[in-house]
Structure 1
Amino acid sequence: MSFSILRNPYVLAGAGSIVLLGATIHQYSNNVAENTGFHFKDPDPSLRIIEKDVLIPKYMTNEAKIRCDDYAAKFRACVDKTEPFTKDRVMTFKTCKKENDDLLECMDGYFKDFNFYLEIKEVYLKEKTLYKACNVMTKDRNIVKDRIRNSAPVDDFTGDFLSYYNSVKSMYEKTGNMDAYDDHLIKSYNDLKAQITAESA
């Protein structure tokens, strides 16, 4: 590697900003984990700390991105205005500071809203229950439903995939509701869980 590259101010500025940004994120993450982890606020004994502070927040991030899409679009538009491989592109965190700050503020607002956490927690619990009940992950369940909607071939489906496909298709044909089988699974699982709890009390 040429040492002239290392002396390039654009490269140094970019590397410095990455280090600074990484340190800032690390410090912020530690502060969140130590002082504002959701396990401090959520007393639910059925969930592990990693579920409260890592898995559910992943769902929160995905949903917050959707709800903050207007700010994300403005940030992307600002970035697109800068020329690739230029100082402005490398220094995007400065060039588009307002747009970036607005996006982070929107995202942060959702993460500070405990009611939003509780809302997304229900989504997480539903997905967790469905996986336990049918052993098919969310993205794969969506593939199954897309195949049914499009009347696409399912020659590659086997095992749990095929069983889930047949059940979803059967209930969809009866009810016209693509999520009818999922709802049935959740109700059956929760009823069984409640029965076991009652019998062990």
Structure 2
Amino acid sequence: MEPPPGTAEEPELRHVEKDVLIPKIMREKARELCSDKVQAFTKCCQESGFLMIVKCQQENAALKECLTTYYNDPAFYEECKIEYLKEREEFRATGIPAKQRQQKLPTSM
């Protein structure tokens, strides 16, 4: 028997989930995992000004290679998909978006 629509166990993901929401998680996680390359490229751009296109080619290539490695990894996609499904399930249970759940209360009121 098929699970009712709207449950986390449903096998089909909507187009926006597959093509927008899960890739967004992938980009965020890949940027964290490639943070050393992001920092090197950012530093080079800040130091080079208008000449960044010429001077930062090596840093840009290293960053692209790092990010592309993660974007093309099916296991990484599945990891991000599982993370998305957990967030979706939690949202459906609580009605509170993940960003709001992660915010901490102020220590002094």
In the alignment, the residues of structure 2 paired with residue 125 and residue 152 of structure 1 have an alpha-carbon distance, to the nearest angstrom, of 34
Q: Which has the higher contact order (CA 8 A, sep 6+)?
A: 2
Cα deviation code 1:70-108 (max 9, x no counterpart)? 10111011112124xxx41xxx23321110111011000
Residue number in structure 1 paired with 2:33: 67
2:86 and 2:95 map into 1 onto residues whose CA distance is 13
Shift in Å, 1:48: 1.4
Residues 1:142 and 2:108 aligned together? no
The correspondence for 1:107, drawn from 60, 67, 76, is 67
What is residue 28 of structure 1 aligned with on the other side?
Answer: none
Unaligned runs of 5+ in 2: 1-9
What is the DSSP-based 3-state SS (H/G/I as helix, E as strand, rest coil) of the residue aligned with 1:109? helix
Pairwise CA distance, 1:151: 4.2
1:79 aligns with 2:79: no
Report the equivalent of 2:76. 116
Tell me the equivalent position of 1:127.
87
Aligned length: 100
Other-structure match for 1:197: none
User: Is the Cα contact below 8 Å between 1:93 and 1:100 reproduced in 2?
Assistant: no
Question: What SS class does the counterpart of residue 96 from structure 2 fall into?
Answer: coil
* Normalised TM-score (structure 1): 0.47
Question: Residue 97 of structure 1 is aligned with which of 31, 49, 57?
Answer: 57
In structure 2, C-alpha distance between the alignment counterparts of 1:93 and 1:128, rounded to whole Å: 40
Supply the AA of the counterpart residue of 2:54. K
**Whole-angstrom distance in 2 between the partners of 1:128 and 1:73:** 31
Q: Relative to structure 1, is the Cα distance of residues 75 and 152 closer, same or farther in structure 2, using a 3 angstrom cutoff?
A: same
Greater radius of gyration (CA): 1
Please state how far the C-alpha of 1:46 moved relative to its aligned partner.
2.1
SS in structure 1 at match of 2:31:
helix
Structure showing the higher helix proportion among its residues: 1
1:191 aligns to what?
none
Residue 50 of structure 1 and its aligned partner are, at CA, apart by 2.2
Once residues 14 and 98 of structure 2 are traced to their aligned partners in structure 1, the CA distance between those partners, rounded to angstroms, is 21
Deviation at 1:152, TM superposition (A): 4.4
- Letter of the structure 2 residue corresponding to residue 50 of structure 1: V
Given residue 68 of structure 2, which amino acid in structure 1 is its aligned partner? D
**Per-residue deviation, 1:45:** 3.8
